[in-house]
Amino acid sequence: MENLISLVNKLQRACTALGDHGDESALPTLWDSLPSIAVVGGQSSGKSSVLESIVGKDFLPRGSGIVTRRPLVLQLHRVDENREWAEFMHLPRRRIADFGMKFIFDLLANVRKEIQDETDRETGRTKAISSVPIHLSIYSPNGNWIIAVVNLTLIDLPGLTKVAVEFLTSILCFITAEGQPETIVHDIENMVRSYIEKPNCIILAISPANQDLATSDAIKISREVDPAGERTFGVLTKIDLMDEGTDAVDILEGRAYRLKYPWVGVVNRSQADINKNVDMIAARRREREFWANSPVYSHLARRMGSEYLAKMMSKHLESVIKSRIPGLQSLISKTIGELETELSRLGKPVSTDAGGKLYMIMEICRGFEQIYKEHLDGIRPGGDMIYSVFDNQLPAAIKRLQFDRNLSMENVRKLITEADGYQPHLIAPERGYRRLIESCLISMKVPAEAAVDAVHAILKELAQKSIRETVELRQYSTLRAEVSAAAVEALERMRDESKRATLQLVDMECGYLTVEFFRKLPQDAEKGGNPTHSIFDRYNDAYLRRVGSTVLQYVNMVCAALRHSIPKSIVYCQVRESKRSLLDHFFTELGGKEARALGRMLDEDPAVIQRRTSLQRRLELYRTAQAEIDAITWK
């Protein structure tokens, strides 16, 4: 059973260390699910005294006005060491006091001072209050507690007050940033309510016996949040200060005000005792004597006093925790799942060193390149558009070429006679053929160039698409822009190279004709013509038509070949090359960049950074909680 309480203690410490105060941080909170005991009551009702009685140490700040301005989460731990000490969560690994040492009063004073200082650090000495708790742990050897208590967590809350708002504001009001006056009175009430309204909070409602119970702040606020009294324990203080002739028997026996659990009366040290430094051991002994020797209360002595109160609270806490464990486990695993999903959506955090940053950029870029390749390889859509250029666009454009104009009778005659010059050709107009073929083939450059451009446009579009589909690039706008620019630049370089290579194919066809084609042509003589025709016959219409048709046949043959070789050149220079080395240039430049320049590329939205940090801390908390609970339940 003790394990269960120590489990909750550990989880509460982890909550505070990792920033989970059950506040409005829009993050799942474990704090709200953990059972705790909160001490509430009016100002000076004896809250601090009750806490100190349970602990057996005089460590809480005292003074006039509102002393407790931040919740104090107090955890009592039993340790095997033969020493006592206190530790504040905000001062990790610093033992602020060693109660076992002889300068005990100085050391206790240090704890008190640190509570005050830490309160001021949070509230800025404005006398404002804050709901961020101070975490104080007290470690004591087994059996060394004045009250033999198991590990216990208690929350001390600022005292409620009914003092007129006007009066308090005159001495304690603080002005918010907007210049609106706010009253401490309402702030305290709201903050106390925010703690005790949580269904897992066990309320220790402190009422002084020397005041009318009907006006008890503790009873009023606890009834508000726990009308059935399921989790409220009534504690009556200052019974020794009641007017002569009056007693609290009616209350303690549950007749004056019935609660689900029986009332517990306590007698704490008076102010005079405190001033005289009456120690807690003596105070406890006196309390025991008070109950045992009082003619009015002796019949109740067995279930009265701070010692009984501590034991009762421990026992109750145990049963509450036990009943909550299964719900807590399923809540934790569900929340871990949710936190992990959101974290993976936000992506990895940016590493701090240059190497880590470089690695991260490379990894993101590789992810992008992989997606780009998948588009080309048919794993993702888009690559088929390139084939459509080769299969439809290019043949259609070649078909549209107007060779008829180049090979009109007039043009054939013009080019042949021009090529012949002053010496008409003897057997065949070789130079004329060359000129005619060249004039036709040169126009192949237009569809060839258009195919290069069309594929370039498709590759560019696929690169942009891949950038959009690279999840990690979404969060780094600068890197996204740089990768995009680098990809476009590389594709443009590849387009220029592709254009050069593809047009070279056409130039190559113009530069050297396929001899076999012409050798196979039947000669005039073979066809029954007369090789001794006059020079004028050589330029007659039939002859020129035959030349034109031969040229057309040859050009068509070359165009058919180019229709196949142009796609090869384009794929080689653009598609294959971009798959192989789209960001190579970018990577080379990246290698020369310094940490700051790399950092600029990974400039995340600060809100995302903040959110990721919060989620990570919360996840850490939940994983710790899961491990702790698993360890306990396995035992």
Interface residues with ligand GTP (CB under 6 A) are 41, 43-49, 62, 67-68, 159, 237-238, 240-241, 267-271, 274
User: Least CB distance from residue 611 to ligand GTP, whole Å?
Assistant: 37
Euclidean distance between the first and the last CA atom of the chain, given in angstroms as a whole number: 11
Alpha carbons 310 and 343: distance in angstroms, whole number: 42
Q: Which 3 state secondary structure label does DSSP give 355?
A: helix
Cβ within 8 Å of residue 568, ≥6 positions away: none
User: Least CB distance from residue 142 to ligand GTP, whole Å?
Assistant: 28
User: Least CB distance from residue 241 to ligand GTP, whole Å?
Assistant: 5
| Closer residue to ligand GTP in complex, CB, 308/586 | 308
Rounded to 10 degrees, what is the CA torsion of 594, 597, 601, 605? Answer: 120
Q: Are 146 and 285 in contact (CB under 8 A)?
A: no
User: Least CB distance from residue 240 to ligand GTP, whole Å?
Assistant: 5
| Closer residue to ligand GTP in complex, CB, 161/624 | 161
Alpha carbons 565 and 224: distance in angstroms, whole number: 87
| Closer residue to ligand GTP in complex, CB, 43/475 | 43
Q: Are 139 and 173 in contact (CB under 8 A)?
A: no
User: Least CB distance from residue 244 to ligand GTP, whole Å?
Assistant: 14
Alpha carbons 139 and 81: distance in angstroms, whole number: 9
CB count, 10 Å around CB of 618? 24
| Closer residue to ligand GTP in complex, CB, 239/313 | 239
User: Least CB distance from residue 51 to ligand GTP, whole Å?
Assistant: 8
User: Least CB distance from residue 66 to ligand GTP, whole Å?
Assistant: 6
CA angle (544, 550, 553) in 5-degree steps? 145
For 149, 213, 248, 316, 322, the CA distances from 265, given in Å and listed in that order, are 18, 13, 9, 17, 27
User: Least CB distance from residue 60 to ligand GTP, whole Å?
Assistant: 7
Q: Are 266 and 53 in contact (CB under 8 A)?
A: yes
User: Least CB distance from residue 287 to ligand GTP, whole Å?
Assistant: 9
Structure tokens at 487: 């990809």
| Closer residue to ligand GTP in complex, CB, 58/509 | 58
CA-derived radius of gyration, the chain: 46
Residue 35 amino acid letter: P
Alpha carbons 292 and 308: distance in angstroms, whole number: 13
User: Least CB distance from residue 62 to ligand GTP, whole Å?
Assistant: 6
Alpha carbons 616 and 18: distance in angstroms, whole number: 10
Q: Strands of 35-97 (E only): list them.
A: 36-41, 72-79, 85-88, 95-97
| Closer residue to ligand GTP in complex, CB, 213/598 | 213
Q: Which 3 state secondary structure label does DSSP give 499?
A: helix
Q: Are 313 and 152 in contact (CB under 8 A)?
A: yes
CB count, 10 Å around CB of 582? 24
| Closer residue to ligand GTP in complex, CB, 31/290 | 290
| Closer residue to ligand GTP in complex, CB, 312/488 | 312
| Closer residue to ligand GTP in complex, CB, 7/76 | 76
DSSP letters of 566-602?
HHHHHIIIIIHHHHHHTTHHHHHHHHT--HHHHHHHT
| Closer residue to ligand GTP in complex, CB, 232/237 | 237
Handedness of CA 20, 24, 28, 34 (dihedral sign): positive
Residue 581 amino acid letter: S
* Residue nearest to ligand GTP according to CB distances in the complex: 159
- Give burial (CB, 10 Å; 0-12/13-18/19+) of 171: exposed
Cβ within 8 Å of residue 461, ≥6 positions away: 382
| Closer residue to ligand GTP in complex, CB, 60/416 | 60
User: Least CB distance from residue 191 to ligand GTP, whole Å?
Assistant: 13
| Closer residue to ligand GTP in complex, CB, 47/284 | 47
User: Least CB distance from residue 267 to ligand GTP, whole Å?
Assistant: 5
Strand 134-141 versus strand 85-88 pairing type: antiparallel
Closest CA to 312 of 377, 275, 266: 266
* DSSP H or E segment with residue 338: helix 306-346
User: Least CB distance from residue 162 to ligand GTP, whole Å?
Assistant: 12
Q: Residue 404: CA atoms inside 13 Å, Cβ hemisphere, count?
A: 3
CB count, 10 Å around CB of 608? 14
User: Least CB distance from residue 192 to ligand GTP, whole Å?
Assistant: 11
| Closer residue to ligand GTP in complex, CB, 271/298 | 271
| Closer residue to ligand GTP in complex, CB, 283/582 | 283
User: Least CB distance from residue 43 to ligand GTP, whole Å?
Assistant: 4
| Closer residue to ligand GTP in complex, CB, 238/456 | 238
CA angle (27, 31, 37) in 5-degree steps? 155
